[in-house]
Amino acid sequence: MVSMTSEVIDTLKSKVRGAVLAPSDPGYDEARTVWNATIDKRPAVIVRCAGAADVIATVNFARDNGLVLSVRGGAHNIAGSAVCDDGVMLDLSTMKSVRVDPVAQRAYVGPGATLADLDGETQAFGLATPLGINSTTGVAGLTLGGGFGWLSRKFGVTVDNLVAAEMVTADGKWHRVDAENDADLFWAIRGGGGNFGVVTQFEYKLHPVGPQIYGGLVVYPLEQADDVLPKYRDFVAAMSDDLTVWVVMRLAPPLPFLPAEVHGKPVIVLASCYVGPLENGAQAVEPLRHFGTPYGEHLGEMPFSAWQKGFDPLMTPGVRNYWKSHNFSDMESDVLKALTKHTAELPSPHCEIFIGAMGGQTNRVPVDATAYANRDSLYTVNIHGRWTEAADDEKCITWARDVFNALAPHAIGSVYVNFMTGDEGDRVKSAYGPNYERLAAVKAQYDPANLFSTNQNIKPSA
């Protein structure tokens, strides 16, 4: 491994257009800081790439000098894999271009873009693609892990809508991958994470959505869980693909439509997004208002781009995070009771539990069509430990693990890779199930020395 002297760094600087930051440079600490405040690592050098040529130069530099390489996209990642100790941090966050072809209904997106960047361009034409539930989410990481969001029941997961990509592999070579070119590599990046190279452009299929949709929130007291949650489960089983309803179980934030005396009380939030004909929206979500006696509600027409920002305050950077997640084929009564019990025991006002109802088009795609393998999951439950003080690490992490363990006997064993923390490497095979061996073979072909290892790592097959 090379010693990172000033001469070595100067050589790297001469090969890239973007900024190259050493630990003594202004902006280094800001550049190495990631969303999850429990992650604190110090790369030997940070390269803020300006384009694909910078990516090629940085990949070659790390490989040729035996350095650890981490890759940063546009935004948050629970595992903190964007940053490494003593190696090279390849930072794509300034590569934020988004170009939309409204006639062909395609979007060409840089790896540093966020959902807000993409929505800002696509919604001008009343178009969208399934991408997450927070506007601050990075497009690249979300997509490479499979990706799902408010539109997935109607249009599938994100990688079902990825038409092509441009990327750099571990040998420093550029590829355009699609169904006809490097087809195995294209298959692998549709859910296999950052294991196979650095994507420098994504090409997505777009669909008519918005700019107005119908949706919003209905908030119930946790005390009504025995009525609300089974009715939610039954409703989800029969709802149309035009509608997505997620559950958030947490302490009530100070939402303006909730009485002040409700703020801070444990609640069940039903969050709905209806993308069918606007005139049918109120009728589609009407049953959600009658699962019990709500604390309050806020339902109506709104811009899709505004709805994508609705949960952004729950994902602000600089807070300590630890997540655990399970997939389910059903919400059994014992699962609902466990969720209710642990919501009543939240160790921090920022902790919460998400129930993401999948189904629809997400389950109609064959499991081997893409690397994303969770085609039998009807619900994804994310246990979201989140707190502000390091002194609370133990109690908040313990809470998340306790919920996870209580739910484990009822889960189907798989996991959404984007919800995995940095200490869950033993679950990678569970994330990919029957697709793992093929992924390991593709890894062996394109990255046999495992240069791209600071991720939920797929080891190259022998």
Mean pLDDT, the chain, integer: 96
Q: Is the pLDDT of residue 1 over 80?
A: no
444: exposed, middle or buried (Cβ count in 10 Å: 0-12, 13-18, 19+): middle
Q: Across the beta sheet with 320-328, what order do the strands follow?
A: 296-303, 212-221, 266-274, 243-251, 352-357, 379-387, 320-328
Work out the pLDDT band at 6, boundaries 50, 70, 90. confident
pLDDT for 2 equals 72
Domain CATH code at residue 184? 3.30.465.10
Given 39, 67, 91, which residue is the final one in a domain? 91
Q: Number of structural domains, the chain?
A: 3
Residue 175 domain-assigned? Answer: yes
Domain match, 204 and 217 both:
no
Domain CATH code at residue 26? 3.30.43.10
pLDDT digits (tens, 9 = 90+) for 244-293: 999 999 999 999 999 999 999 999 999 999 999 999 999 999 999 999 99
Residue 361 domain-assigned? Answer: yes
pLDDT digits (tens, 9 = 90+) for 192-231: 999 999 999 999 999 999 999 999 999 999 999 999 999 9
Domain match, 306 and 378 both:
yes
pLDDT for 314 equals 83
Work out the pLDDT band at 5, boundaries 50, 70, 90. confident
Residue 7 domain-assigned? Answer: no
Domain match, 105 and 241 both:
no
Domain match, 44 and 143 both:
no
Domain match, 329 and 349 both:
yes
Domain match, 111 and 27 both:
no
Cα 83 to Cα 76, 166, 205, 441, distances in angstroms: 12, 23, 31, 26
Residue 461 domain-assigned? Answer: no
Residue numbers of the domain that contains 77: 17-91
Domain match, 293 and 239 both:
yes
Residue 462 domain-assigned? Answer: no
Domain match, 71 and 200 both:
no
Q: What is the DSSP string of 157-201?
A: -GGGGEEEEEEE-TTS-EEEESSSSSHHHHHHHTTSGGGS-EEEE
Beta-carbon contacts of 14 under 8 Å, excluding residues fewer than 6 positions away, are none
Given 27, 61, 91, which residue is the final one in a domain? 91
Domain match, 201 and 321 both:
no
Residue 36 domain-assigned? Answer: yes
Domain match, 155 and 259 both:
no
Domain match, 362 and 276 both:
yes
pTM of the model: 0.96
pLDDT digits (tens, 9 = 90+) for 158-193: 999 999 999 999 999 999 999 999 999 999 999 999
Domain match, 196 and 312 both:
no
Q: Omega before 256 cis (within 30°)? A: no
Q: Is the pLDDT of residue 433 over 90?
A: yes
Domain CATH code at residue 393? 3.40.462.20
- Spatial distance between the Cα atoms of 400 and 385, rounded to a whole number of angstroms: 6
